[in-house]
Amino acid sequence: MFTQCRGCGEKFILEVEQLVHARGQVRCNMCGTVFDALETLSAEKPLEDEDFLLHDFDNAPPLLTQVFDMDVEPDEEVLQVLNELLPENLPPNTLEEELEHSWEDAKLHAETMLLNEPDAEILANEQDAPLFTSPKDNSPKTSAGAGFWSLLSAAMVVLVSWQLVLVLQSGQLKLPEKPWANALCSWVACAKITEQVDLGAISLVSRNIRPHPGRDQALMISASMINANEQNLEFPVLEIKLSDLNGQVVGMRRFLPEEYVAEEIINSGFVQNTLVPFSLEIESPGADAVAFEIGFVQP
């Protein structure tokens, strides 16, 4: 809604609730004039240089045909009481200051005015009282549900522990070099993770193959190797291939370090620039084996 000051001509926007509270009387915040906003009240937005026209109040009053009904809804009755009671409780400078009460507070005030004094006191006590949604259940709880969840939790712990043991034994999980890790691995047998060996730094110094002097269909291989890289701490896997005249492999065998090197030498490590001799006894693949080859493979 729109209205215009009778004193300075300034245009204002106002709400219907403001008119109801002040009974149409408003104060201009530009010149301070108190005037009747109903005289120039308009529902259409005015132009910038257009003044509101004064309404003609000389017409005959309207004829009222709607009779008051006691069965009217409570909310409508409250609004009727607000129209009559709330303006008397508000200060005269309502438009200059913020309303001290919200619309809901004013509605509650009208409801209390409709009741007698004892009922109003009861209503106020009910508004201040806490709201309880449901009574507290003090009945003892059964142990069946607690036992089920305890059993389920224990099963989950066992499952997670079993999966942890599997990944440790397969080498998928590597633990840090800590005392607790060593103790855990001694209990679950963690997979031993070996570092890569520099095979290019290992050379054969000598090699020889001959028939076994005390066994038929057996061969003896004697050789020695040397390590040129001090970073090589592990011995490699030894691979022996026997081939025929055409170079076709007729026999092949791989030996772990503990199968061709003495235990005390393994414990000492693959020392750099130190000759390590070894000998092996293998089964002869037959007369077709005329050549042999010794190689190294990652452990």
For residue 151, give both structure tokens: 């059993």
pLDDT at 192: 67
Does residue 122 sit in helix, strand or coil? helix
Same domain, 263 and 203: yes
Residues 33 and 79 in one domain: yes
For position 226, what pLDDT does the model report? 93
Residue 165 belongs to some domain of the structure: yes
The phi and psi torsions of 156 (rounded to 5 degrees) equal: -65, -40
Residue 73 tokens, joined: 């809804």
Q: How far is CA 30 from CA 42, 91, 96, 150, 269, in A?
A: 20, 19, 11, 76, 101
Domain extent at residue 88 = 2-97
Q: Same domain for 262 and 173? A: no
In a domain, 275, yes or no: yes
Residue 8 shares a structural domain with residue 22: yes
Which position has the token pair 């009671």? 85
What letter does residue 45 receive in the DSSP assignment? P
Q: CA 243, CA 84: separation in Å to the nearest integer?
A: 119
Distances (CA, A) of 40 to 26, 86, 193: 12, 24, 95
- Read off the DSSP letter of residue 280: E
One domain for residues 184 and 233: no
DSSP structural state of residue 42 = B
Q: Which two tokens stand for residue 221?
A: 């291989």
Report if residue 150 sits inside a domain.
Answer: no
Q: Do residues 189 and 245 share a domain?
A: no
| Residues whose CB falls within 8 Å of the CB of residue 250, separated by 6 or more in sequence, listed in order | 242, 243, 244, 285, 286, 288, 289
Name the residue type at position 101: H
Residues 7 and 89 in one domain: yes
189 with 203, same domain?
no
pLDDT for the residue 255: 93
For residue 250, the 8-state DSSP code is: E
> Helix/strand/coil (H, E, C) string of 142-199?
CHHHHHHHHHHHHHHHHHHHHHHHHHHHHCCCCCCCCHHHHHHHHHHCCCCCCCCCCH
Q: Which two tokens stand for residue 160?
A: 């997670």
Q: Phi, psi at residue 210, to the nearest 5°?
A: -155, 160
CA 200 – CA 298 distance, rounded (Å)? 11
Kindly write down the DSSP assignment for every residue of 211-242, as one continuous string.
Answer: E-SSSTTEEEEEEEEEE--TT--SPPEEEEEE
Q: Write down the pLDDT at residue 90.
A: 52
Domain CATH for 256: 2.60.40
Q: What is the pLDDT of residue 113?
A: 52
Among 223, 173, 225, 220, which Cα is nearest to 200's? 225
Q: Classify residue 274: in a domain, yes or no.
A: yes
- Could you tell me if 172 and 235 lie in one domain? no
pTM of the predicted model over 0.75: no
Q: How many domains does the chain have?
A: 3
Which run of H or E residues covers position 268? helix 263-268
Of 97, 115, 144, the position where a domain reaches its end is 97
The whole-angstrom separation of Cα 43 and Cα 87 is: 23
Does residue 133 lie within any of the structural domains? no
pLDDT of residue 72: 47
Q: What is the CA radius of gyration of the chain?
A: 52
pLDDT for residue 276: 92
Residue for token digits 């011995």? 235
Q: Per residue of the chain (299 residues), give pLDDT as tens.
A: 788 887 888 888 888 787 787 788 888 988 988 888 888 888 777 777 777 666 665 556 666 666 655 554 555 655 555 555 444 555 555 544 444 444 455 555 555 554 444 444 444 454 544 444 444 555 555 566 778 888 889 999 999 988 888 888 877 777 777 888 888 887 877 776 666 888 889 999 888 888 888 888 888 999 999 999 988 888 999 999 999 888 899 889 999 999 999 888 888 888 899 999 999 988 888 888 888 899 999 88
Question: Among all chains, which residue has been given the structure tokens 């042999």?
Answer: 292
Q: How far apart are CA 113 and CA 123, in angstroms?
A: 11
